[in-house]
Amino acid sequence: MYWKTDTIKIPDWDRNSLLDRLEAFEPDNERELSHEMMAYCHFYGLDLWVEHSQVEYHQGYVNSGKHQVMVHYYRSTAATHCRGTVFVMHGYFDHVGLYTQLIDRCLAEGFDVLAYDQPGHGLSSGTPAAIGSFLEYQQVLSDVTAKVRQKIRGPWYAVGQSTGGAILIDYLLSNHHTRASSEFRKVVLLAPLIRPAGWVKARVLHTVLRPFVSRWRRAFSANSGNSEFLKFLRKVDPLQARAIHVDWVSALRQWVPHIESARPVEFDITVVQGEKDLTVDWPHNLRIIRNKFARVHEVKLPLGRHHLVNEAHDLQATVFNTIIDTFTADV
């Protein structure tokens, strides 16, 4: 809980031990958490039932192809009207534990929340920071929504950071969704990935290195104005992958032309983008998004970097306000 305290204790939990005890996800079934799982939740601030006493927490895995995907679901038991369920999609190298503040804000605004670790991230199975094809991300989304359909409350909304945004773009474009056909009433993209920054050089490097290496060392960038968050990633978080996997870049190379050549859809979308983002090629990506969606509401942050969910507090507040305002505009 780097955002709540200056003192971060050594994790009192082990990833492999947690995985050995994971059970299948059932949104209707609240299980008692083990001491170790409680420690994991507390470490990342996922124990939001402490602040929100009328919130139930459900967790477990969903099978999707060769993957077991860790799902977190927060459901309000309050008698007041629920505004719906927000699906939170994290970015590359991330996991749900880094999105606690966003989940907290959504709960405070009367939404239930469902979030899951992408394959190769967090407590989900898979080679760290790797994917065989971006189609696997779509299969996971399909399998998770199939698991919870008719079991969690609507309407559904979705917010995606970086690669999470790419997954939502793919979902909408590849399925030719309109607002009437999409399972998500509203979608917000935060610094969405289509092309990363330096894409031409990255492709050359990938072509040269791919026959000889399977991964290369990750360089932690200053992708947020929140220095405590950056320190937490570099020095504390045990779920941070330390290498970029070549397979993920190969999958991205296949996916980019697919998205850039996709047909436009009749769907309105909101994009929040930092103008100091050095992770994605955001000017190019915004041009693509404008050409693909019927209406695009853009919120540009002159001082914003890439990891908008964990930006400096004033910028983060703007990001969260935009998300909530978008989702509540027609509720």
Over the stretch 254-280, which tens digit does the pLDDT of each residue have? Answer: 999 999 999 999 999 999 999 999 999
Angle between helices 246-260 and 163-174 (to 10 degrees): 40
Looking at the predicted structure, is the pLDDT value of residue 211 above 80?
A: no
- Which comes out higher in pLDDT, residue 330 or 49? 49
- Asked whether the beta carbons of 103 and 53 are under 8 A apart, the reply is no
59 and 29 Cβ atoms separated by less than 8 Å? no
pLDDT at res. 1: 62
Domains annotated for the chain, with CATH where assigned, are 15-328 (3.40.50.1820)
Q: Looking at the predicted structure, is the pLDDT value of residue 331 above 60?
A: no
- Which pLDDT does position 138 carry in this prediction? 98
Place of tokens 């006493």: 53
- Give the DSSP H/E element, type plus range, for residue 188: strand 184-190
Range list of β-strands (E), 108-171? 112-116, 156-161
Cβ count within 10 A of residue 132: 16
How many Å apart are CA 280 and CA 205, to the nearest integer? 17
**pLDDT single digits (tens) 120-176:** 999 999 999 999 999 999 999 999 999 999 999 999 999 999 999 999 999 999 999
Alpha-carbon torsion, ordered 51, 146, 262, 95, to 10 deg: 40
